Structure 1
Amino acid sequence: SLKIVFNFQAGFGILANMFLLVFYTFIILCYRPKPTDMISCQLTFIHIVLLLTGGNIWLWDIFGSLNIENDFNCKATFYISRVMRSLSICLTCLLSVFQAVTISPSSSFLAKFKYKLKKYMISVFLFIWSFNVSFTSHRIIYSGIFTNVSETKQMKVTKSCSLLSMNYIIRALILTVIISRDVFLVGLMLATSAYMVIILFRHQRQHKHLHNLSHLRASPEKRATQTILLLVVSFVVMYWVNIIISSTAVLLRMYDPVILSVQKFVMNVYPTITPLVQISSDNRITNMLKHIQSLCHHIFKKR
C-alpha cells in the first residue's frame, strides 16, 4: 500500500512538473519571458529530478531488478538528490526575493535592486548551481553500499546504502555551512514573505474605499505574489517536518522503514504541490487550456 502511495505521488508530481516545464520552455523560447519564468522553469526541472531520485520507489525497483546495488548507484542517487534539494531551497528563496523586489514601491529601499537583479540574473543562476554542485560533492565520497564490516562507522539509510563516518572536523565544518545556509535562506524567505504581506495589506487598504473587496479583481502582480507566498509557506512547513524526521533518523543511526517511508512522502510533497499551485494561479496557463478545450470542442463539433 505504501508503494502504491509513493508511486502515485511521484508519478502525479512528475507529470504536473513536466507539463509546467514544457509550458515555461515554450514561453522562454517563443515569447519574452518574465524573470520569474526563468526561475520557475529551473525549479520545475529540479523538482522532476528530485521526484525521480529522492527515494523514489521506481528507481529502487529498476536498480533491484537489474542487480545494480553498488557504490555507483548509492553515490549517484544520494549526490543528485542532495544537489536538487539544495537547489530547490535556493531557487525558492530567489523567487521570493525577486517577487518582493518587483512589487516594492518606487520609494522603498528595495526598488533600486529591481533592475540590478534582472541584469545579473544569469550570473546569480550560475553561482547558485556551481556552489551547490561543488559543495555537495562530499556526498560522493561519504556514501556507498552498506557492508556488515565496521557497522559502527556507517549509518544505514536504505537496505543497501549507507553514509560513511567522517572526520569530526570535516563533519562539523560541513554541518556548520549547511545549517548556516539553510537558516539564512529560510530566514530570508520568511522576511520577504512578511514584507510582501505588508505590501498587499497596504494596497488592499488603499483601494478599499474605491472598490468592493468582494468584487475586487486581483492584479497579475498580486496573484503572483499570493502564489509565491503559498509556495514559501509550503516549503518552510515541509522543510521543518523533514528536519525533525532526519534528526530522529540520525539519533537512531539505523535504517528504519517507517521513518524512511514518512521522510520519502514529506520530501515529495513540496515538488508535487508546487506545479499545481502555479498552474492554477497562472492566467496564461488557464487561458491556454481554455483555448485548447474550445479548439477541441470546435473540431469535434465539425466532425
Structure 2
Amino acid sequence: MISKDIALGLLFLFQTGLGALGNSFLLVLYTITFFTGPKLRPIDLLLTHLAFVNDLVLLSKGIPHTMATLGFTNFLDDVGCKLLFYFHKVARDLSLSTTCLLSGFQVITLSPRNSCQSKLKVSDLKCIVPLFLLCWVFHLLKNVPVLIFMKGPMRNKNITEGQDYIYCASPFPPILNIAIQMFTLFLPDVLFIGIMVGTSGYLVFVLYRHHQRVQYIHGNSLTPSVSPESRATQTVLLIVFLFVSFYSLNSILMLYVQYGKSSWLVHTSTFLAACFPASSSFVLIVSDSHVYKNFWALWEKLMIQF
C-alpha cells in the first residue's frame, strides 16, 4: 500500500510535470514561430512570457516540494532557501502582472476606434517589451524581503516561533510575518487583482453588447459565427477567472498557514498555488485557434524539410 507521503509526492510530481510540459510546448512553439513565421500577434508575446514565468513558478516550487514530501527535507541551506523562495515569488508575481497585462491588452484591442484606448493600438507592440522589463525590475525589488526572512529547515535550528515550510522556514512570529507581507507583498497584488476584475467586467460587457448586435443583424434563425476577437476575449476571461479563483483561495489558506503548524495546510496551499500555472497552458492550447495554426504551419515546414 502506498503511503500518504509517496502519494503526495506523486501528485505534486504529476502536477509539476504536466504543467511544465504544457507551458514548455507553448514556449517552444511561440519561440520557433517568432523566428520562422508566421508573424506573431502582439498578444502572443504576452502568452509566451506567461508560459515562461509559469514554468518558473512550477519548477521552483514543485520540484523542491516533491522532494520534501518524499522525505528529502535537508537538501537546502539558508542561501538555497533564500534564492529558491525569492525566484519563486518573483515568478509568481510576474505571472500575476502578465495576466493583468493580458486582460488590459484585450480591452485596448476591443476598444472602439474613436476611444482614447484606440490611440495605444498603434504602439502597443512597442510597449510590451518595456512593460516586461518594468515588471521584472519592480518584482525583483519588491521581493527583496524574502532574501532576508527565509532560512533553512526549522527543525535544524533552535527556532520556537515562525512558519515551517517543510524544507525551508521563516523564523518570524506570524503577526510580524503577516504585517510585512501585507504592506510589501499583498497590497500590490490586490491592485493587480482589482485591475483584472475591472477589465474582465468591461470585457464581459463588450462581449454581451457584441452578441446582441450580431443577433439583431443576423436574426434569431441564424447561428452567427464567433469572431476571432470574441474567441480571444473568451480565452482571456477564462485565464483571468482561473487566476483570480486560485489566487483568492490560496491567499485565504495562506493566512491559516501563518498560524497553523500543520503540514497539510502547506501541502494544500502549494497545490492551489500551482493549479493556475499548471492549467493555463492547456486552456490556451484548447481554446486558442492560433496555437493550432502555428503548430500545423511549423509541422508542414518540418515535413517539407525532411
Q: Same fold (TM over 0.5)?
A: yes
Partner amino acid for 2:157?
N
2:204 equivalent to 1:194: no
What is the aligned partner in structure 2 of residue 300 from structure 1? none
Mark the runs of 5 or more structure 1 residues left unpaired by the alignment. 298-303
2:157 equivalent to 1:151: no
Query: Which residue among 166, 184, 188 is the counterpart of 1:181?
Result: 188
2:286 equivalent to 1:280: yes
Query: Which residue among 212, 234, 237 is the counterpart of 1:205?
Result: 212
TM-fit CA distance, 1:63: 10
TM-fit CA distance, 1:292: 8.1
What do you get for the CA RMSD once the two structures are aligned?
A: 2.9
When normalised by structure 2's length, the TM-score is: 0.86
Partner amino acid for 1:12?
L
Q: Distance in 1 between matches of 2:228 and 2:283?
A: 15
What is the aligned partner in structure 2 of residue 71 from structure 1? 78
What is the aligned partner in structure 1 of residue 224 from structure 2? 216
Partner amino acid for 1:227?
T
What is the aligned partner in structure 1 of residue 243 from structure 2? 235
> Compared with structure 1, are the counterparts of its residues 26 and 289 closer, same or farther at alpha carbon in structure 2 (3 Å cutoff)?
closer
TM-fit CA distance, 1:42: 1.0
Partner amino acid for 2:158?
V
What is the aligned partner in structure 2 of residue 301 from structure 1? none
What is the aligned partner in structure 2 of residue 41 from structure 1? 48
Q: Distance in 1 between matches of 2:290 and 2:125?
A: 22
8 Å CA contact 2:24–2:51 kept in 1: the answer is yes
Q: Which segment drifts farther, 55-64 or 239-248?
A: 55-64
When normalised by structure 1's length, the TM-score is: 0.86
TM-fit CA distance, 1:71: 1.4
**Identity percentage over the alignment?**
30
Q: Which segment drifts farther, 135-144 or 230-239?
A: 135-144
TM-fit CA distance, 1:115: 2.9
8 Å CA contact 2:26–2:281 kept in 1: the answer is yes
8 Å CA contact 1:28–1:37 kept in 2: the answer is no
* Secondary structure at the counterpart of residue 217 of structure 1: coil
* Secondary structure at the counterpart of residue 216 of structure 2: coil
8 Å CA contact 2:235–2:287 kept in 1: the answer is yes
Partner amino acid for 2:33?
I
What is the aligned partner in structure 2 of residue 267 from structure 1? 273
Cα deviation code 1:66-125 (max 9, x no counterpart): x63311221122111111111110100001001111111112332223334333222111
Query: Which residue among 19, 37, 50 is the counterpart of 2:25?
Result: 19
Cα deviation code 1:49-70 (max 9, x no counterpart): 11111243445489939x6331
Cα deviation code 1:209-251 (max 9, x no counterpart): 3336773221111111100000001100001100111000112
For these two proteins, the number of residue pairs brought into alignment is 293
Partner amino acid for 1:119?
K
2:98 equivalent to 1:91: yes
Mark the runs of 5 or more structure 2 residues left unpaired by the alignment. 1-6
TM-fit CA distance, 1:258: 0.9
What is the aligned partner in structure 1 of residue 120 from structure 2? 113
